[in-house]
Structure 1
């Protein structure tokens, strides 16, 4: 990937782990946004994500740090840090250091995933993480689906915006995923930090059919640049979550999750096997996109076909609000300006 002229430190919610990776008492090392971090789970089950280096003398808390009840203890001198990032104990002194604080991040656990809110100006979250079930308002829930299937690719040279732009790129479906006809977009709603894209699509039939006769499609909800959830209708019931999180100035981690809906079936083992097979096919198609993204160059301005102009213009204008480095102003300021207008 040729490095795009886009910040790798955008504002928003981004996945940093799966919940099951961090059990009670665990300390989980990770690096995102060019920053060493740790995630740890207290005895109460509360999950905390904070910068990794102890404010005392800089020991990395991911190497030997231990959870003691509701605090994280440094392996170097035993200093203890709370879920709010405050020093609550210096074991060889009768009072803590109240003047220093570890940076912590707002955390949400949803759909078996761990998300943190990232903002270089440390603003509080102003939109929510979309839920792959509740966000569509159809009464669905995890019990109606087979276990989540996953893809995880580390340190790929791609930018989160490439993945979001893929959601308005109707032409690629035919040439990357071999759909018989080009889909038609029925909704582009980029008025808020959480945006919506719906389109009619089919993966069956031939190129002789008319799009007007297709009775299947996809609804997508984008929670900023870091998360997109989708619901398919008129075909095999599936929900997906794509989560792209910058690691450093050049690479991102890619997570993709698929839920396949349960259906009444006499042979439950056969039904589960078919669901697993279909889930793997959905993941395979996402991998086809990854192969494009990781070798892509950001084209600005792009040479667009007439029918592409509306979607790409809308999503690129929408994306500007999440960049803090002059491309579109700070996320909170841009959002505030749209509300005033």
Structure 2
């Protein structure tokens, strides 16, 4: 997908789920065109750093191991601390103070792992929000929901989709009929751009009522930068979800989707029962693949002829998104 802006976006981006990383796990990642290593140290903390050892270039994510809070290269045993500094050179009584691995800030929220990316390495400019802590009027207790991973989580890798294109689904009301088979067209009830967030409230009119302002379902949502959006459903279903997009390089992204589904009254298990799993899979988890059937072949239109009902929020989102591009597109021509 060709877009007129960079894929090296500034912000928080999801890279997986906490349950994928047990203590002592070391794994390779690739995001923003960089080979990375992710590991969970013996204190339980997650770290993400440049993947290649500064000694002879071995990829630490393939065969590396955790020693205390360090990760050890599988080639010659050089150890690197969570600050990226060299902590040990086998057979020597010194360390190399001039070599460092780049460190990417990491946070875990509600069982999801996020890394901060800035194309020039700047520190985080805002905090990654607590997913269930949003919209407190709808409840915030994690104990009220089944676990999102693995039953209600999905990942699709290396898709030709830019993060902004995914978020532009938010103010696009008319696609629900044609892509998702909706019998009622949702309405944008409110929206606002506030700093690094774009917030919106969508309503689904009650087809059984003569009152056009009566809503059968409301969806509260917040985009936490271009990394993704968090939504809370208020109606017949009262679940939460996150839909996140993380660039792999300048052509493709990984997409992550998780749902927090309310527990059946009286059920104390963290694992959803089969009938709940079947319903969530059939009604909600499939929507990602329906949208992907469009995004995979879509051409970005810089000045679209928008419908009057979608134009203002759509253009508001595009204007808001500009703040996350701190570098020009990779194929931008240098000024003459």
Fold similarity call, TM over 0.5 = yes
Q: Secondary structure at the match of 1:215?
A: strand
Structure 2 residue aligned with 1:279? 280
The answer as to whether partners of 2:27 and 2:62 remain within 8 angstroms in 1 is no
Identify unmatched segments of 5+ residues in structure 2: 330-336
Give yes or no for the alignment of 1:195 onto 2:198: yes
User: Equivalents in 1 of 2:147, 2:99: separation in Å?
Assistant: 43
User: Equivalents in 2 of 1:48, 1:211: separation in Å?
Assistant: 51
RMSD in angstroms over aligned alpha carbons? 2.0
Q: Secondary structure at the match of 2:188?
A: strand
Q: Secondary structure at the match of 2:213?
A: helix
Give yes or no for the alignment of 1:150 onto 2:149: no
Relative to total residues, which structure has the larger helix share, 1 or 2?
Answer: 1
The answer as to whether partners of 1:127 and 1:194 remain within 8 angstroms in 2 is no
User: Equivalents in 1 of 2:176, 2:141: separation in Å?
Assistant: 28
Per the alignment, do residues 107 and 96 of structure 1 end up closer, same or farther by CA in structure 2, a change over 3 Å counting?
same
The answer as to whether partners of 2:134 and 2:140 remain within 8 angstroms in 1 is no
Q: TM-score, normalised by structure 2?
A: 0.90
Counterpart of 1:290 (choices 265, 287, 292) is 292
Structure 2 residue aligned with 1:236? 237
Q: Secondary structure at the match of 2:294?
A: helix
User: Equivalents in 1 of 2:110, 2:23: separation in Å?
Assistant: 18
Q: CA deviation at 1:163?
A: 1.1
The answer as to whether partners of 1:28 and 1:40 remain within 8 angstroms in 2 is yes
Per the alignment, do residues 211 and 182 of structure 1 end up closer, same or farther by CA in structure 2, a change over 3 Å counting?
farther
Give yes or no for the alignment of 1:252 onto 2:262: no
The answer as to whether partners of 1:222 and 1:229 remain within 8 angstroms in 2 is yes
Q: CA deviation at 1:130?
A: 2.5
Give yes or no for the alignment of 1:216 onto 2:235: no
Structure 2 residue aligned with 1:300? 302
The answer as to whether partners of 1:3 and 1:297 remain within 8 angstroms in 2 is yes
User: Equivalents in 2 of 1:205, 1:152: separation in Å?
Assistant: 34
Structure 2 residue aligned with 1:333? none
The answer as to whether partners of 1:194 and 1:221 remain within 8 angstroms in 2 is yes
Mapping for residues 14-25 of structure 1, pairs under 5 Å: 14-25=13-24
Q: CA deviation at 1:94?
A: 1.3
- The aligned length equals 322
Structure 1 residue aligned with 2:79? 80
Q: Which structure 1 residue ranges, 4+ long, deviate > 6 Å from structure 2?
A: none
The answer as to whether partners of 1:41 and 1:47 remain within 8 angstroms in 2 is yes
Structure 2 residue aligned with 1:339? none
Counterpart of 1:178 (choices 178, 181, 184) is 181
User: Equivalents in 2 of 1:57, 1:94: separation in Å?
Assistant: 19
Give yes or no for the alignment of 1:122 onto 2:121: yes
User: Equivalents in 2 of 1:201, 1:277: separation in Å?
Assistant: 24
Q: TM-score, normalised by structure 1?
A: 0.89
